[in-house]
Amino acid sequence: MDARQLGRTDLELSPIGLGSWQFSQGVGMSGSFWPSIDQETITSVTGAALNGGISWFDTAEGHGRGRSEQTLAAALSALGVRPGSVVVATKWWPFLRTARSIGSTIGKRLAFLSPYPIDLYQVHQPWSFSPIPVQMREMAQLVRAKHIRAVGVSNFSARQMEEAHAALAAEGIPLASNQVRFNLLDRRIEENGVLDTARRLGVTVIAWSPLAQGMLTGRFHDDPGLASRLPRSRRFMNGITPARLAVTAPLIGTLKAIAKAHSVTPSQVALAWTVSFHGDVVVAIPGASKPAQAEQSAAAMRLRLSSREMADIDEASKRCAASG
C-alpha cells in the first residue's frame, strides 16, 4: 500500500503504524493493561516494525505517565534511526487540566522523546476544563513555535471534531487527524458521523485497537483459557467473555478462511480490511509486544483483498454486530 497523506498536512504515513501503549512497562493505571516488557524487547519490536515498512509510531503522555514515550525514543535511538526520518505522534492528557498545560508541559514531552521531534500532537480525550477552541489555539501556538508539526485530536465526536477543525482553520492550520476506536467489532464511526465528517473535512481517521485488543486474531477463540489470563481491565474494556467469543466466532471463521487462501493470518486480513475498506481515509495503529506481531502487522500492508473478500468480511462483521 502506498504512503498516505496525513489529513491536509505535508506529513506522509504508512497505512499501518505502530501503537506503543504496550511500551508503558506497567507504569500507572494505563500501564496495567499490558504485561511489562523490557527495553530490549521494545527495541526488537520497534526494529521489526521498521524493517517491515512501518514509518510512524504513536504514543502518549497518558501511556505509563510518559514511559511509553521514553522507551520508544530509546528504541529508535538504539536502532540508529535518524531524527526526522520517521513520524512520531504523541498526545496531551487533558483530564483535570486546562488548555494552559498544553504549553506548560510540551517541554517534558519533547524531553521524553528526545532527540525525536513531535510530528503530530493530539488531544487525547475531549475532557479538558477548557473549551475546544481554547485548546486548539494553544496547539496552534506550538505549531508556530515549531515545537510540533501538526495537530490532531483523539476520541472526539463528529461535532467536537467540527469545532476543533473550525478553531484551527481560524489560525490557518488544518486539523490533521482524529484517533478513534475502529475495528470489525466496533464500527460506530460509520454511523455516528465521525467517518463522514472526517472525509468531508479532509481529516485522517487513525484507528486505535484495530484488532479489538487481540479478539480479531482468533487466539481467544482457539483457546478460551487465554482470556482468563488477561488483566481484568483489558477483558472488561473489550468484553472478552465466553458469550462474546461465541457471538464473534462466525466472523473469525470468515477471517480464517480468507487468511488461508492468502497464506496469512486472520489478524492481517482484519488489518488489511480496516485500512482499505474506506479508501485512504483510515490508517491503523496496532500494538505489539513481540517482534513477530509487529512483523505480521507490517506485512498486512502488502495484502490485497479482492472486492468479494472485502464484501464478505463486511457482511460477516455486520451479522456479528446484529447478533451481539
pLDDT digits (tens, 9 = 90+) for 128-137: 999 999 999 9
User: What is the residue-averaged pLDDT of the chain?
Assistant: 94
Q: CA–CA separation, 254 vs 227, rounded Å?
A: 21
Q: Tell me how far apart the alpha carbons of residues 294 and 48 are, in angstroms, rounded to a whole number.
A: 6
Q: 303 pLDDT exceeds 70?
A: yes
pLDDT band with cut points at 50, 70 and 90 for residue 221:
confident
pLDDT category, 323, cuts 50, 70, 90? low
pLDDT above 70 for 235:
no
Tell whether the model's pLDDT for residue 238 goes beyond 70.
no
State pLDDT tens for residues 99-112: 999 999 999 999 99
Per-residue model confidence (pLDDT) at position 240: 76
Write down the pLDDT at residue 120: 98
Q: What is the mean pLDDT of residues 50-77?
A: 97
**Percent of the chain with pLDDT strictly greater than 70:** 95
As a whole number, mean pLDDT of residues 166-185 equals 98
For residue 76, the model assigns a pLDDT of 98
- The pLDDT, as a whole number, for residue 243 is 81
Closest to 28 in 3D by CA, of 73, 69, 77, 87: 69
- Mean pLDDT, residues 22-37 taken together: 86
**Does residue 301 register a pLDDT over 80?**
yes
Q: Where are the alpha helices (DSSP H) in the chain?
A: 28-31, 39-51, 67-78, 100-113, 132-144, 158-169, 194-201, 219-222, 232-238, 242-262, 266-274, 291-299, 307-323
Q: Give pLDDT, residue 123.
A: 98
Region 238-243: what's the mean pLDDT? 75
Q: 3-state class of 236 per DSSP? A: helix
Predicted confidence at residue 237, as pLDDT, reads 63
- Domains of the chain in sequence order: 4-212+270-303 (3.20.20.100)
The residue-averaged pLDDT of 121-145 equals 98
Pair 319, 51: CB distance under 8 Å: no
Averaged pLDDT for residues 172-191: 97
Question: Sign of dihedral through CA atoms 119, 16, 313, 310?
Answer: positive
Asked if pLDDT for residue 138 goes beyond 70, the answer is yes
At residue 264 the predicted structure's pLDDT band, cuts being 50, 70 and 90, is: very high
Give the pLDDT confidence score for residue 246 in this predicted structure: 87
Largest alpha-carbon pair distance within the chain? 53
Residues 6+ apart with CB under 8 A from 147: 106, 110, 118
Least confident of 29-33, 116-120, 129-133, 308-312: 29-33
Query: Has residue 87 got a pLDDT over 70?
Result: yes
